[in-house]
Amino acid sequence: MEEFQAPAGTVALPDSGSTASSTWREALKRQLDALPLERRRQLRVLTHGAGAQLLPDGQGDTPPLLDLASNDYLGLSRHPEVQAAAAEELQRSGVGAGASRLVSGSRPVHRQLEQRLATWLGRERVLLFPSGFQANLAAVGALANRHTLVLADRLIHHSLLAGVKASGARLERFAHNDINDLEQRLQAARAHNEKRRLLVLSESLFSMEGTSPDVGVLAACCSRHGAALLLDEAHALGVLGPGGRGLAWGLEGPGNGAIALISGTFGKAFGSGGAFLAGDALVMEWLLQSSGPFRYTTALAPPLAAGALASLDWLETTEARGEAAGAALLQRARRWRDGLEAAGWPRPPGEGPILPLLVGSDQRALELQAQLEAAGLLAVAIRPPTVPEGQARLRLVLRRDLPAGTLPRLLDALGPAPTTP
C-alpha cells in the first residue's frame, strides 16, 4: 500500500485545501481506481419479509428474496420469545448500557447470561463482548505476547489474525485442518525452545469453507506439546455438538485442558448480537484484569443480552429441542450436498449448514449471484481477500425455517453445472 509522507514540520492534519491533503487524497483515489470492479463492495439494505424472506429496500415492486445468505441458522432472530425478551429488557434497562462493564455498564442480564452460558458449555466462567471481532482480539491478546509463537490454521478468521498482529507475536500458518502439519510445526517449535509459549488458533466450523477439524485430535495435539488452543466456535454453537454446544463440548474438564478459550457469538444461531469468551477461572480472571478490548468498551446492549438468553432458553427447554434442531439442519445439509453433487456441481466440503459452491473467478461468482437473485434466491458471491485468490464462491447457508422445495428451486436457478470447477 502506498503511504502518505507528511511534510516536514507538520503537526496536525491539513485541511482539505492544502497540498498535503491533496497528496494523501490522491493516493487514496489511485488505490480505489486500481481496484477492479468485480472486487468492489457495495452496501445493500434489506428488510425482513415473512419467514426466511428478505425485501430489497427502495426497489419498488421487486419480489422478495429467499434468504440463503445470513447466519441466522435457527431462525431465532424473529422468534417471538426472543423478540419479547429483548423488548422487555429494553423497557427495563434502556437501549444501551451507557458505560463499560468495569464502570457502570454491568446489568443483571449480563451476569445471568454469563452464568447460564458457563454452565451450558461446561466452562468455569464467561465474559461478554459487544462483537465477535472484539472477543477474538481480546482472546489472542490474553494468551499471546511478543515472545509467543502463534500457529494458526491458514483459513482462520481475520479477527484472529488482527489479534496476533496487535499482540506482537510471531505467526506461522499450518495447512487447513491438517493436524500432521501442525504436529510437525509444534515439534519443531519445542525442539527450538522448550519453554516458549505456544498458541494454536482454529475454528470448529470455518465460515467460508463449511469444514471442521477433528477438535478432539486437535486439542490432544496441542496438549502433547504444551500449547494453548483458542477455538472459535462462532458458527458451530447452536448447530453442532450435543444440544448445539459446539465441538469442544465434553472434551476437557475445567482448568486442565489444552482448550484455553472458546469464543462464540450471539449474532448467528442465537439470532441476537454480541459475543463471549469462555474458559477456566484463571484465564478468565486474567482477561478481566488485563484486557483492553474488554475494559475500554461500552458493555453489550442489555436487550441483545436478553435476546441471547431467551435463545439459550429455547435451546435448553428440553435437551431434545437443541438436539433435534441441529440434527434436522445437518440432515438437510447432507441432502443439499448430495443434490448439488448429483447435478454435477463440486460437492461442497464439510457437513454443517455452510455450503460453499466454488466457481473460481470473481466475475463468475457475481454472475451466479445475479442469476439466483433473478429467481428470487439470495446467495452472496464471496471474493478475495475474504477467500484465497482464484477461489471465489457462492456461499449457500441453510436455515431451519427454509420452506420445503428450496433445493429443487436452487438447482433450477443454478442451471447446468460447469464442465470444469
Could you confirm whether 183 is annotated as catalytic?
Answer: no
Candidates 79, 110, 225, 268; catalytic one: 268
Could you confirm whether 193 is annotated as catalytic?
Answer: no
Contact 130, 275 (CB under 8 A): yes
Could you confirm whether 203 is annotated as catalytic?
Answer: yes
Q: How many CA atoms are closer than 13 Å to the CA of 345, on its beta-carbon side? A: 23
Instruction: Quickly count helices (H) and strands (E) in the chain.
Output: 13, 14
CA angle 140, 146, 147 (to 5 degrees): 105
In the numeric block, which cell numbers belong to residue 121?
458449555
Candidates 157, 167, 252, 272; catalytic one: 157
Could you confirm whether 3 is annotated as catalytic?
Answer: no
Q: Which residues pair with 355 in a beta bridge?
A: 396
Nearest to 264 by CA among 247, 243, 288, 251: 247
Q: Which residues pair with 201 in a beta bridge?
A: 152, 230
Contact 139, 284 (CB under 8 A): no
Could you confirm whether 71 is annotated as catalytic?
Answer: yes
In the numeric block, which cell numbers belong to residue 247?
465441538
Nearest to 44 by CA among 381, 301, 356: 381
Candidates 67, 72, 89, 232; catalytic one: 232
Candidates 72, 114, 153, 203; catalytic one: 203
Candidates 159, 167, 207, 291; catalytic one: 207
Candidates 79, 212, 235, 280; catalytic one: 235
Specify the DSSP element, H or E, that contains 358.
strand 354-360
Candidates 71, 177, 291, 311; catalytic one: 71
Contact 65, 44 (CB under 8 A): no
Could you confirm whether 232 is annotated as catalytic?
Answer: yes
How far, rounded to the nearest angstrom, does the alpha carbon of residue 117 sit from its chain's CA centroid?
A: 18
Could you confirm whether 145 is annotated as catalytic?
Answer: no
Residues carrying an active site annotation: 71, 157, 203, 207, 232, 235, 268
